[in-house]
Structure 1
């Protein structure tokens, strides 16, 4: 597998007419051949899965290639696109370590193929509607070099709209398995890891293996659960590394399906006694899971059917009797008063 040196603007195809700024008319300055202490820069392998995202793909490609990073391995795995993506990838072929287009098999399977081909000591994947910010690879490589205990590093992520206008700024804050499993007070309360900001070492990849191909959205969340279960050390990097694009066609725009997959993933860990969780913390999270997955769904179904208060009370009492852990969930009493008109 070949590596790619730092590309310069003059080396790449000209940008589309009217595009300016990063990564069209601006680039990161090429890094020195060695790190500040004289060490070699670690090889960074980046995988981009793509399926019919030609509209955004070129931004992603250029944001990888224009990092000025001297030891880069960039792999693009197209999943059978029919929108011109393949022609676009071919334009950048001289700067890629590898690329292929194969019949559609789903995002996790495509990422797995790229990861298996990779040779870098630092790994990441970035979807073809997201992109990196200048200097990201340098900041990540230096952090890993200075913190040999770190297995996964996540940086600051900018939220952008479909036209690449910044609409938000995010830095996740979690480092333990019980924090990651807490969807309610941490993950869904803006302390989550946003996927394109994350980078991890090959050693943890070799420990946990592939992404699960039976998950449509939460496969990265489940992957991080496996990492922390295996003892991985997660660290934050207060440096803007990537942009997450909000656009109409993205899978995560389906909030109900995303939450459903995450709840299904969490269920396995919360009831597996081999998962290292303190007993009290396990009970707290199980109570939240029952509240969200059983109590709220019961209430919402009753309200959608416009059932009488008596019928709704009956349903609520039944589900609470069946799953008494619900009573320990912090939002239970407030929500009960609201839905029952108390």
Structure 2
């Protein structure tokens, strides 16, 4: 198994002590023969450090000190790593068994190219639904036009060559919520993307989950990326949804609570200004998903 390409897994962390042990263990359990694990903790104030210390002999590198946020932690980890294949796994997510062995096999002969391989992810809900409730987030075959307005790549199930990371550049520190999406869009200018319809990771949803609690700042970041990369149609639609949201929010909450189908079509009927912007009713669901 010495011909497997080396893989570096960077784990950014901050106050996820209740989950990070499972995250690290899921990487160790891959039993990948040529593996680096780097944990970059931003100075957690919970029990994160105590958990990390239980795995010191299995880590290539770790620290716990203040940083400039998740993007900065990941960038630091990438600079310290040496793997031919690189990725990051957030400290509340996990890899499914056998993921890295398959990824290593798929990257044989591709490490000198600008290449991305990505798959699907299993959602794990800790709260709001019955604990342990799950659903699958299916990605989609690579479509650069769609990626400009809708992030369908499941980040914990994505892996790429070091060559691509170095040629694309590091994560943009301006972004706290859409850092992965914006990086994939930049990488798409020079990379080949391969979608594998297979589950590679578990994406945990909980009350302190960052992506679902971003509020206004997350919306601002999403809109900034859309304005930079998407067409005028999508820019107008995102802006109109943002403007009309206070109007249709009560309707949306009722429809979702009642489980009524065709919610996007009904919403468009309630808000004529929004309906006039839509080319396809399904477009509204993508905007709502991105705005979380």
TM-score, normalised relative to structure 1: 0.69
Give CA deviations for 1:137-175 in whole Å, capped at 9, x if unaligned. Answer: 011111112666661111221111228835112331141
Task: Indicate which of 54, 58, 64 corresponds to 2:17.
Answer: 54
Alpha-carbon distance in structure 1 between the residues aligned to 2:132 and 2:140: 24
CA 1:300–1:136 in 2, change beyond 3 Å: closer, same or farther? Answer: closer
Task: Indicate which of 196, 214, 220 corresponds to 2:174.
Answer: 214
**CA apart distance, 1:261:** 1.5
Alpha-carbon distance in structure 2 between the residues aligned to 1:300 and 1:200: 37
Give CA deviations for 1:154-213 in whole Å, capped at 9, x if unaligned. Answer: 122111122883511233114132120133xxx4xxxx1111111110111011111011
SS at match of 1:155: strand
CA 1:77–1:303 in 2, change beyond 3 Å: closer, same or farther? Answer: closer
| Equivalent in the alignment of 1:253 | 212
| Equivalent in the alignment of 2:259 | none
Task: Indicate which of 315, 330, 334 corresponds to 2:279.
Answer: 330
Indicate yes or no: 2:192 matched with 1:228. Answer: no
CA 1:300–1:244 in 2, change beyond 3 Å: closer, same or farther? Answer: closer
Moved more, 104-113 or 256-265: 256-265
Alpha-carbon distance in structure 2 between the residues aligned to 1:302 and 1:68: 52
Alpha-carbon distance in structure 2 between the residues aligned to 1:90 and 1:255: 30
| Equivalent in the alignment of 1:84 | 47
| Equivalent in the alignment of 1:289 | 235
Report if aligned partners of 2:114, 2:163 keep a CA contact under 8 Å in 1: no
Report if aligned partners of 1:158, 1:166 keep a CA contact under 8 Å in 2: no
Task: Indicate which of 122, 139, 155 corresponds to 1:158.
Answer: 122
Q: CA RMSD in A?
A: 2.7
SS at match of 1:58: helix
After TM superposition, list the pairs within 5 Å mapping 1:60-79 onto structure 2. 60-79=23-42
SS at match of 1:42: coil
| Equivalent in the alignment of 2:253 | none
Unaligned runs of 5+ in 2: 250-270, 285-292
CA 1:84–1:303 in 2, change beyond 3 Å: closer, same or farther? Answer: closer
Indicate yes or no: 2:142 matched with 1:175. Answer: yes
| Equivalent in the alignment of 2:63 | 100
CA 1:328–1:165 in 2, change beyond 3 Å: closer, same or farther? Answer: closer
Moved more, 140-149 or 71-80: 140-149
Report if aligned partners of 2:5, 2:107 keep a CA contact under 8 Å in 1: no
Structure number with greater Rg is 1
SS at match of 2:108: helix
**CA apart distance, 1:262:** 1.7
**CA apart distance, 1:128:** 0.5
CA 1:256–1:298 in 2, change beyond 3 Å: closer, same or farther? Answer: same
Higher RCO (C-alpha 8 Å, min separation 6): 2
Moved more, 102-111 or 56-65: 102-111
Alpha-carbon distance in structure 1 between the residues aligned to 2:123 and 2:81: 28
Alpha-carbon distance in structure 1 between the residues aligned to 2:208 and 2:277: 38
Count residues in correspondence.
257
| Equivalent in the alignment of 2:265 | none
Report if aligned partners of 1:67, 1:135 keep a CA contact under 8 Å in 2: yes
